[in-house]
Structure 1
Amino acid sequence: MDLELRHLKIVKAVADAGSLTRAATALGLAQPALSAQLKRVERALGGTLFVRGREGVRATALGELVLERARVLLPAVCELQEEAQRFARQGAHGYRLGGTHGPLLGGLVDRLAREEPGVPVTTYTSWSEKEVAGGVADGRLDFALVGVCGESAPPEPGRLAWMEVARDPVHVMLAEDHPLALARTPREEIELAELAAEAWTDVPGDGCFGDCFAAACVRAGFAPACVYETDTASCVHLVQVGRAVGLCRATFPATPGLVTRPLAGTPLVWRHVLGWHPAARVAARAAGVLSHARAAHEEALGRSASAAGAGALRAAAVRAPAAQLRCG
């Protein structure tokens, strides 16, 4: 009988479980079937792998040798399989981009399409940063363009490479006839405490932004009475009709009926980050995609609802050095 990977999995399962009964349960086999398979493996390898006792099984010297090799080979084969699947999914040259809400993904698509006409660009969007990053980690997407709150780590820190595109102060979004909008110029800041009586609206996410916002409100001396988490269009509508004030990035585009104002002291910061799998073929194109994403951010700032204060925004949107982020 030739030794196969499934045989090594059986040996490792028995050693990990410490007994044939527990190993059979873990493998979904009947104990007699497992015992028969283990005997065949032992015959193929030329000796006994385990000594059975009242307290379970103990590996023999031969068993320890086999286990040592199995613990190297099994993860290596698993990694090979994952890498091969990623490679097969990547297909022809093109860009498969994943992103969350915000204007940067559209800007990145536009720049890539202009730079490389005829090269396919596809997109996938989700409110979940983790979902988008997971798509890159398993090879369904090439790049993730998402945001994270403050200095928090991007998703999948152990599997993906991440670079910072830019960072923006978080602004408040008001109806154009809101008293604070009428009383402030685009560059004038609003104290968070001045909004204590307001209901709020924001898009959902699976990072720490909601907790950080709540903490900023507590530091300002209040707890938000109501926060509507909904899609961007609904957030805009709630602000336009005066039902709530919104939280938005500095890159939020100019929208009829709305104005945005900076918050005093910049209590919340949003970092735009680009992620990719370092072992994927597209990793060689990451520097170019990052450059386009940064240019898209500059263009979004120019079109933003706070364009009149763009100089102040650019001073606040401080980029990280051109070195890979060490997150997680």
Structure 2
Amino acid sequence: MELELRHLKTIRAIADAGSLTKAASALGVAQPALSAQLKRIENALGGRLFDRGQRGVRTTPLGELVLARARNVLPAVSELQRDAVRFARTLEETDRLRLGGTHGPLLGGLVERLGASHPAMPVTTYTSWSEGEIADSVTEGRIDYALIGCCGAARPPAGERLEWREIASDPVFVMLTADHPLADRTEIGLAELANESWTDVPGDGCFHDCFTTACAHAGFTPARVYETDTASSVHLVQAGRAVGLCRATFPNTAGLVTRPLAGTPLRWRHLLGWHSAARTADGAPAFFELARAAHAEAAEGNDSYADWLHGGSGPLAALPPGDFHHHSVRVS
């Protein structure tokens, strides 16, 4: 029997699980079948890979050697497969630019600027609430650039495989009806909203945990949080069922106001990501500047945020214009 990648995956699964029973469950096979497969692998490699005991399995010296090689080989093969798929898709998609993003005003603003600066370039877009899904699409070559957001100082998804640049870091605002008792305030303390229900857009980052922590610091636990799409969140606020957590760049909406939270307990970072080996990677500096311009317009387009910026309530934590290279960081 020749050793195959699936055999290395089996060895790794047994070592990670610590027992054949748990490994069989993780692999979705019956334990007798896994035991028989392990015996065939050991015969092919010339010796036992695991010693069995009452507390599970333990790797033998031979097992340690094979496992160490497997932990190097398997990620390398996975990376090779991802690169091959991305390269093949790149060859198929040479006639258009593909952008992906999470929901918000920046993607539309970026597309608008691309149309003005490169009118002959076809552009397609894809949106998802999942930052991880967007990042995976860039890694796999399905889209060229990712325009996403993440909470505070959180690491961007697929940080070890993609290049990321921070476009700006904004405070998180609260959205209220225009007739809410706190709507005329220039900023609102989080504790003043302790009795409210909340709504926000779902994501796969740490924002919900950070919000819960901020509420705990303010002395309360949110009674109810509705995670739903942007339109439904706006509807819940308009109906008086909740107050909304929103980006400071959220556009002005009739009947609603957005206000900063005192002390800026939550922040949202806007990021542009791409693969360094992609055919479009050379255009990253130009796309970065276009994304910055889209963010600046969105910031000025929200009256409350514009007042917050120009009134000295807090600086816009965007990167200095043109300082692309200095802030180039590959997260590893």
Q: State the identity as a percent.
A: 55
2:170 match: 168
Matches of 1:207 and 1:94, distance apart in 2: 30
Q: How many residues align?
A: 299
2:112 match: 110
1:317 match: 316
- The residue correspondences of 1:1-328 to structure 2 (distance < 5 A) are 9=5, 50=46, 79-90=79-90, 91-182=93-184, 184=185, 188-306=186-304, 308-309=306-307, 310-312=309-311, 315-320=314-319, 322-327=326-331
Q: Please, which runs of 5 or more residues in structure 1 have no aligned partner?
A: 1-5, 40-48
What amino acid sits opposite 2:233 in the alignment? C
Q: Structure 1 168/312 Cα, relative in aligned 2: closer, same or farther at 3 Å?
A: farther
The TM-score normalised by the length of structure 1 is 0.77
User: 1:142 Cα deviation (Å)?
Assistant: 1.0
Please tell me the root mean square deviation across aligned C-alpha atoms, in Å.
3.6
Secondary structure at 1:106's aligned position in 2?
helix
Residues 50 and 59 of structure 1 are in contact (CA less than 8 Å); yes or no, is this contact kept in structure 2? no
Q: Structure 1 106/50 Cα, relative in aligned 2: closer, same or farther at 3 Å?
A: same
Q: Which moved more, 1:143-152 or 1:219-228?
A: 219-228
Matches of 2:187 and 2:314, distance apart in 1: 15
Q: Structure 1 192/89 Cα, relative in aligned 2: closer, same or farther at 3 Å?
A: same
Matches of 2:72 and 2:152, distance apart in 1: 39
User: 1:237 Cα deviation (Å)?
Assistant: 1.3
Q: Structure 1 281/178 Cα, relative in aligned 2: closer, same or farther at 3 Å?
A: same
Q: Residue by residue, what CA displacement relative to the aligned partner does 1:142-163 show, whole Å, maximum 9, x if unpaired?
A: 1111111000101111111111
Q: Please, which runs of 5 or more residues in structure 2 have no aligned partner?
A: 53-59
Matches of 1:109 and 1:153, distance apart in 2: 26
Matches of 1:88 and 1:307, distance apart in 2: 44
Matches of 1:14 and 1:250, distance apart in 2: 49
Residues 164 and 271 of structure 1 are in contact (CA less than 8 Å); yes or no, is this contact kept in structure 2? yes
The TM-score normalised by the length of structure 2 is 0.77
What amino acid sits opposite 1:260 in the alignment? T
Matches of 1:29 and 1:223, distance apart in 2: 47
User: 1:103 Cα deviation (Å)?
Assistant: 0.5
* CA radius of gyration, larger in: 1
Q: Residue by residue, what CA displacement relative to the aligned partner does 1:8-37 show, whole Å, maximum 9, x if unpaired?
A: 65896898789xxx9xx99999979x979x
